[in-house]
Amino acid sequence: MNFTASNENAKTLQFIAYFNQIFFDGVLNYEMIRKTSPILLRKFLECIFIVTDIKIKTKKIFCDILFNGKIQYTNQIDRVRECENLLVAIELAAWLNDAPIILQAVVQCYGLLAPLIYFNLAYEPIIKNIAY
For every one of its 132 residues, what pLDDT tens digit does the chain have, with 9 covering 90 and above?
333 445 666 666 666 666 666 666 667 778 888 888 899 889 889 988 998 999 988 888 876 665 555 557 777 788 888 888 899 899 999 999 999 999 999 999 998 888 877 777 666 665 665 565
Over residues 47-71, the pLDDT tens digits come to 889 989 999 888 888 766 655 555 5
What pLDDT does residue 131 have? 61
Question: What's this model's pTM, rounded to 2 decimal places?
Answer: 0.73
Q: What are the backbone dihedrals phi and psi of residue 23, each rounded to the nearest 5 degrees, phi first?
A: -125, 110
Q: Which amino acid is at 83?
A: C
Per domain, the residue ranges of the chain are: 37-131
What pLDDT does residue 84 have? 87
**Alpha carbon distance 33, 127 (integer Å):** 28
What pLDDT does residue 64 have? 64
Name the packing angle between helices 2-22 and 38-59 (round to 10°): 90
Cα angle 39-112-115, degrees, rounded to a multiple of 5: 170
